Chains A and B, each alone.
Chain A
Amino acid sequence: MQPTSLTTEQIRALIAKGKLKDAIFKAMGIFCLAVALLVIVLLVSDMVAKGSERFTLDFFLNFASRRATQAGILSAWVGSLLVMLVTALAAVPLGVAAGVYLEEYAKRNWLTEIIEINITNLAAVPSIVYGLLALGIFVYTFGFGQSILSAGLTLALLILPIIIVSTREAIRAIPAMIREGSMAVGATRWQTCRYHIIPYAMPGILTGVIIGLARAIGETAPIITIGALTFIAFLPPVPFTEVSEGVNAGLFDWVMSPFTVMPIQIFNWTSRPDPAFEVNAAAAGFVLMAMVLTMNGIAIYLRYKMRKNIKW
């Protein structure tokens, strides 16, 4: 192309063409984002529209039932809550400790490198494979059975990479002068971590924990794989109450109890041919969505606040 041969009109036409292409692409970008937003809106509105007739107190206080109108999600939400408790108790200390180790203690050697590569790769392992791991190790080798404990530990392993990565990012954002100041007044490495690094990294760690738990509460596949039941019409034993004639439940008996969780209840109702259960699935789906989106919303808000507030 010889630029000298172009007239002003031709150049203007070229510019107009370029601007038009820009505008078309911009429109495509907005369209794709709109599709994403539309999916969320459609999903939520459909679940509300279909499930609204089930939003009664009974729905939250009834067990699953063969009759759709009497079925509720009591055992499911209690199960989800208890599994999350076990998951958080296992994953948060482990994940934070691993993150602190990798950022503050680890020497740059092959061992550290293996651990780092390993964490990256674990994040890409399909969740159902964690279910197989748990089935082989927790359920049969350790003999935990199909219990809340097995499920909680499985989900803890699943979200461990998320917590480790967010802990590391939060710690990395703390400037070196904080550590130097602490060590200059005679604190040991652990005292520096305990009184400075971990408290200052807390908001970032918390964000990661919430995102991880939001992911765990919606996970279905690994829990089905370890053999959670779909029809549970009782609650795990409450500590120190009478479970049978003269026998009181111990403080930790509930961790070995069979259970069901919200996603499994939804799966069960979705896969029934009777359309009456669709209504239940919609209502339970909305409850689960509300839990997950609230948790994610809190995490997004926390991060936003953090970015505004922290000035080193």
Chain B
Amino acid sequence: MATGEALLAVERLTKHYGNVVALNDVSFTITDGITGILGENGAGKSTAIKILLGLLRPTSGTATVLGQDASRSIAVRSRVGYMPEHDCLPTHVSAAEFLTHMAEASGLPPAMARTRAADTLRHVGLFEERYRAIGGYSTGMKQRVKLGQALVHDPAFVFLDEPTAGLDPAGREEMLALIRKTHREFGISVLFSSHLMADIERTCDRIIVLQDGRLVQSGEVGHFTKETETVFIEVDSNREGLVAALRKRGVAVTIDRTGLTIEGPDESVYDHVRDALVEAQAPLRRMAPRRRALTELFERESETAYTTGAA
């Protein structure tokens, strides 16, 4: 599939469980790359993934995966992989046997399934341990087996539902690196669901944010962080004079305990800062561009939404 072409498309998707609205008129498209789907528990992430996997029928709207209706086409599932959040591994079989079986269950001939299982276990870092029963694996190793079974049939697209859940910091780093590798080296596009913004920010190219079953944001991760670009300035003295000089030039400044922050600067701001420093005779100690983390952005937006809602 060509880069930029929609791999997944969701159009006016709604899902009700009785009176509970899990998804409400959600539309988005996902192209090649790593896309993060972010939201709190109950935001509708898992429901969206289950509809895209064909495990749930939507109440209304359509979900298309690789050009086919997700809830009707069984064949398309041979080209997608799924790593669930919950435990889903047998305990008494080896990882090699399990992955071979899963590859066959995805439609691969037995000889190919064995080869793919060995290759995949090597890629997820379990080659040496492949003949041990899964029941004896650590949490991190089990997560790798879960990822392995999602990749063993070489899908075009893989759904990862909370892949870092239950991992220690080192295991989490390794899993995030594996996810990046999945797209950058294996060429498999990823939809990565998480409630951890840091994981999404560090791994994903694009982001979809769901809140209470509604789509609240979607776009490039870089776009969100660029929007929140700031310049941080610290001076040795006459901070008040500098603030006045900047405000006189129409530059919005916020003051905190250690310095000044100018939000969303364009190129001309640096000229204003230079002139204001000269005017205020304020000795510059430090000036650096800084990007806000997504966490700050969405914290700020949810506060705004809360305030608006309260008003």
A and B interact: no
